[in-house]
Amino acid sequence: MQKLFSFRFWNSIARLILRNREVILALIVIATIALASQWKYMQFTHTEANLLPDDHPVNEEYNKFLDKFGEEGNLIILGVENNNLDNYQRFNAWNALADSLATFEEVELVLSTSNLPNLTKNSDNTKFIVEPVLQEPLKNDQELAAFKKKLFNELPFYKNLIYSENDSVIRTAVYIKKDIVNTILRKDFIIDKFQPVLDQYASDNQLDIKVSGMPYIRTLNSQNIVDEIGMFLLAALAITSGIFFFFFRSWRATFISIVTVVIGVMWAFGILGWIGYEITVLTALIPPLIIVIGIPNCIFLINKYQQEIKKHGNQAKSLQRVITKVGNATLMTNLTTASGFATFIFTQSKLLVEFGVVASICIIAIFLLSLMIIPIIYSYLSIPKERHLKHLGKTWINKFVDWNERMVKKQRIPIYITSVVVLILSFIGIYQIKVSGSLIEDMPKSMQFYKDIKFFEESFDGIMPLEILVESKNEKVTSLKTLKRLNKLEEHIIETPELSRPMSIVSAVKFSKQAHYGGDPEYFDLPSTYDAVTMSKLVKKSSNDISLMKSFVDSTGQNARITTFMKDMGTDRMERVEENLREKIKTIFPEERYEVTLTGKALVFQKGTNYLINNLILSLSLAIVLIAVFMAWMFKSLRMIFVSLVPNLLPLLITAGLMGYLGVPIKPSTILVFSIAFGISVDDTIHFLAKYRQELIANDWKIKKSVYGALKETGVSMFYTSIVLFFGFLTFTASSFGGTVALGALVSATLLFAMAANLLLLPSMLLSLEKSIANERTFKKPAIPLIAQDTDGIEE
């Protein structure tokens, strides 16, 4: 009854599609136009990838910091080597650049050598006043030498802020307005205004200006994502359609496939705009993914159509059989693929949830489009000519299948030994895998902004912001006792090689003491109790003139921030640095009197990486359980779960082992590999086992004959689709993003391993375990009869 119901259901679907061709085509056109109208709502992300759930404690701590001090990532820094500013004309030009940037409405503040404030006392020593270090443009090189001497030797407050530790680099700090940092206005400003001014200045003065800072990095990184979308689409389409033509040698079949997947891509963009998800480094991969996954659907359907034509020459019957015989199996394979992506929904990471939602929807959409468009278009065309069917008898493909059959017949023991050895080696490699929580590791290393990041990291001991928020529960953070505690923590930070010299209220107070003693840099230190009393009187009278403390202490006076920058490092080292910081904080700040929080974008990203790694097990486990349920449901055999999962789990372990040996770390991009590859590779298993069951019934439960028959029928389709998928995902290695390259290479490799496992290990296991897993009771009444008993052809 179930078998009859399934046949009638898909027969009804076939009649519905073929009898309503014009209506269905019209609906597809209308849906495509409607989704195309949603393209205008697509937006590229203007914020960093937040890998943590919104309610995660680390996110809550970061938001607490933002509430008190505002957006931290609004700083753009310009740097130039000191020896390049070797004459006063160039130095004046450098200052003029800063002054011109300050005129833009998007800029809140520019701090440079042109406007450095110097804290001094007025003539009668009654209050502090702020005066610019440089009163007017330099007139000669002697004035330049005097200015640099004063800056490097007499103004330690600006060390690591305006000049580097060894005085080799001078930089300008550009603070853009905080309310545009996470909007498109930031991109418009940097691309259309900021960058042209810099380029013109660099050209006029023949200077190599280094530029960095989170707003700048994010903008250029996002622009790179935009630029690569078109490249990926064209590359994926060209390569997969080229392979398709090589296999089928038919321009007509190739064109139909291209039309199908292009419509799928249009729908993918429309779905992104309709749902309102931003285009991120992950969702940008969905359109080319649709091409890579859609072409195999076209292979199954077109190949079956051509086989039926070659068999009996009846076009109507062929089209009907394409839908009834391939529809159910292709639906199941697309569902398993979509399931692999859908497991990301359970990570609770917004970035991955959006990727999982859109990818799984689009995969089902491309299946429906393929199932409707291909039979309908062929129904309007003439029957394929003999030359279009020659590929069905290609001798080299048959030789490949015959080799597989010989290996399974005569070399099962070597296959098992090889599998065990590879498994052991894989486990050894897995133990060597490292974790990366770097913000910049996946950025394009050939791009100038990445090279500039490394330049600033070397010159200023870090570029990734780390914030320490100190909340005093009793006294003001400007009290001498608290300042001394803050100073102790800063001394520990300075001694930590991975962290830059910090900036905080402590530096501002030290600057005030230096001013109190006539600007002598020897007095750049915390005041004594006596000094604090006399200085407080000067500060009170000068409160309207001094704004140095505003960036370091909030309006209540109970919260202070210490800002330092981290070098790019591995997660293990970052965790040790964090642990040492927390231990030092515990010894300096009693918990009953202070609450200290470590936060900042670098730390949030590192915690997000660890969060995803912990959720990787959940995501992959869900995919395995879900697909195991599919297997049990389709074949009504718990034993078949074991047989079907082993050939698909082994490639994942091999890939993980390779990551360890090759030094590819676990990071957000490579975490995706396992669920994606598993969801796709299990498709071959479904096709093989479905055909195997059909052969069992047709051959009166003769195991060997059924295995070899299934292998001969499905071997070509596995090879076709695996090669298309391999080269399709390989296009991602053309990306300039390290994570995308790793994703493409690892998924491609995993799918090749999976093809070998499904062609060699799976049939070998069926033959070795034939008495325990293959009998009439096990297979006679599956929940889903995937393939009709008289089905033949390579698509199964």
Please tell me the number of Cα atoms within 13 Å of 53 on its side-chain side: 10
Q: Treating both helix axes as pointing N-terminal to C-terminal, what angle do 480-495 and 505-516 enclose, rounded to 10 degrees?
A: 110
Mean pLDDT of 440-461: 77
Mean pLDDT of 667-679: 75
C-alpha span between 509 and 486 (Å, rounded): 12
CB distance 294 to 267 below 8 Å: no
Mean pLDDT of 224-253: 79
C-alpha span between 64 and 560 (Å, rounded): 13
Cα–Cα distances in angstroms (integers) from residue 148 to residues 83, 91, 167, 387, 557, in the given order: 11, 10, 9, 80, 35
Share of the chain above pLDDT 90, in %: 8
Range with the largest mean pLDDT of 44-53, 209-218, 485-494, 673-682? 485-494
C-alpha span between 7 and 324 (Å, rounded): 7
Cα–Cα distances in angstroms (integers) from residue 671 to residues 340, 476, 666, in the given order: 13, 45, 6
* pLDDT tens sequence across 693-744: 777 777 777 778 888 887 877 777 778 788 888 888 888 887 777 777 888 8
CB distance 266 to 35 below 8 Å: yes
pLDDT at residue 341 tops 60? yes
C-alpha span between 712 and 690 (Å, rounded): 13
Cα–Cα distances in angstroms (integers) from residue 256 to residues 241, 268, 297, in the given order: 10, 19, 12
Cα–Cα distances in angstroms (integers) from residue 466 to residues 52, 596, 599, in the given order: 17, 13, 6
Q: Looking at per-residue confidence, does 311 or 390 come out higher?
A: 311
Mean pLDDT of 357-382: 90
Lowest average pLDDT, out of 214-228, 290-304, 349-363, 468-482, goes to 214-228
Q: Looking at per-residue confidence, does 619 or 148 come out higher?
A: 148
Q: What are phi and psi of 564, to 5 degrees?
A: -135, 170
C-alpha span between 462 and 117 (Å, rounded): 25
Cα–Cα distances in angstroms (integers) from residue 65 to residues 23, 540, 560, 574, 626, in the given order: 57, 27, 10, 21, 41
Dihedral sign (CA 453, 219, 188, 71): negative
| pLDDT at site 635 | 63
Share of the chain above pLDDT 70, in %: 89
Lowest average pLDDT, out of 140-149, 289-298, 667-676, 759-768, goes to 667-676
CB distance 356 to 343 below 8 Å: yes
| pLDDT at site 191 | 87
Confidence of residue 369 (pLDDT cuts 50, 70, 90): very high
Mean pLDDT of 412-417: 89
| pLDDT at site 363 | 92
* pLDDT tens sequence across 68-90: 877 667 888 888 888 888 888 88
pLDDT at residue 50 tops 80? no
C-alpha span between 395 and 254 (Å, rounded): 22
C-alpha span between 556 and 477 (Å, rounded): 10
- Per DSSP, helices labelled H in 37-77 are 57-69
362 residue type, one letter: C
Q: How many CB atoms lie within 10 A of CB 416?
A: 15
Range with the largest mean pLDDT of 253-267, 394-408, 658-672, 771-785? 253-267
pLDDT at residue 397 tops 60? yes
| pLDDT at site 465 | 81
| pLDDT at site 364 | 92
Mean pLDDT of 504-514: 87
Q: Treating both helix axes as pointing N-terminal to C-terminal, what angle do 395-410 and 703-730 enclose, rounded to 10 degrees?
A: 120
Q: Please name the residue that has the structure tokens 């290609």.
A: 394
| pLDDT at site 302 | 83
Range with the largest mean pLDDT of 43-52, 138-147, 329-338, 600-609? 138-147
Q: What are phi and psi of 667, to 5 degrees?
A: -150, 175
pLDDT at residue 792 tops 60? no
Q: Looking at per-residue confidence, does 521 or 784 come out higher?
A: 521
Contacts of 705 (CB under 8 A, 6+ apart): 695, 699
Confidence of residue 550 (pLDDT cuts 50, 70, 90): low
C-alpha span between 669 and 654 (Å, rounded): 18
CB distance 622 to 484 below 8 Å: no
pLDDT at residue 379 tops 50? yes
Mean pLDDT of 487-509: 88
537 residue type, one letter: K
Nearest CA among 561, 437, 429 for reference residue 498 = 437
| pLDDT at site 542 | 58
**Coil/strand/helix, residue 503:** strand
Mean pLDDT of 2-29: 78
CB distance 484 to 509 below 8 Å: no
| pLDDT at site 546 | 46
Q: How many residues does the chain have?
A: 796
| pLDDT at site 775 | 52
| pLDDT at site 793 | 37
CB distance 687 to 796 below 8 Å: yes
C-alpha span between 210 and 456 (Å, rounded): 8
Q: How many CB atoms lie within 10 A of CB 208?
A: 12
Contacts of 220 (CB under 8 A, 6+ apart): 190, 447, 449
Contacts of 645 (CB under 8 A, 6+ apart): 624, 627, 628, 631
Confidence of residue 786 (pLDDT cuts 50, 70, 90): very low
* pLDDT tens sequence across 573-598: 788 888 899 999 999 999 889 999 88
| pLDDT at site 544 | 47
Q: Residue 738 burial (CB < 10 Å; 0-12/13-18/19+)?
A: buried
pLDDT at residue 620 tops 80? no
C-alpha span between 434 and 441 (Å, rounded): 13
Q: Looking at per-residue confidence, does 167 or 557 come out higher?
A: 557
* pLDDT tens sequence across 148-188: 888 888 898 888 888 887 778 898 888 888 888 777 888 88
pLDDT at residue 26 tops 90? yes
Please tell me the number of Cα atoms within 13 Å of 194 on its side-chain side: 25
Confidence of residue 23 (pLDDT cuts 50, 70, 90): very high
| pLDDT at site 709 | 81
Confidence of residue 758 (pLDDT cuts 50, 70, 90): confident
Contacts of 709 (CB under 8 A, 6+ apart): 691, 695, 698, 699
Mean pLDDT of 254-262: 89
β pairing state of 210-212 and 75-81:
antiparallel
Nearest CA among 452, 470, 464 for reference residue 498 = 464
Q: How many CB atoms lie within 10 A of CB 600?
A: 25
Cα–Cα distances in angstroms (integers) from residue 501 to residues 165, 478, 495, 496, in the given order: 9, 20, 9, 9
Q: Treating both helix axes as pointing N-terminal to C-terminal, what angle do 286-312 and 214-248 enclose, rounded to 10 degrees?
A: 10
Tokens of 129: 């006043």
| Superfamily, domain 2-48+220-431+606-779 | Multidrug efflux transporter AcrB transmembrane domain (1.20.1640.10)
CB distance 673 to 663 below 8 Å: no
Residue 226 DSSP code:
H
Confidence of residue 492 (pLDDT cuts 50, 70, 90): very high
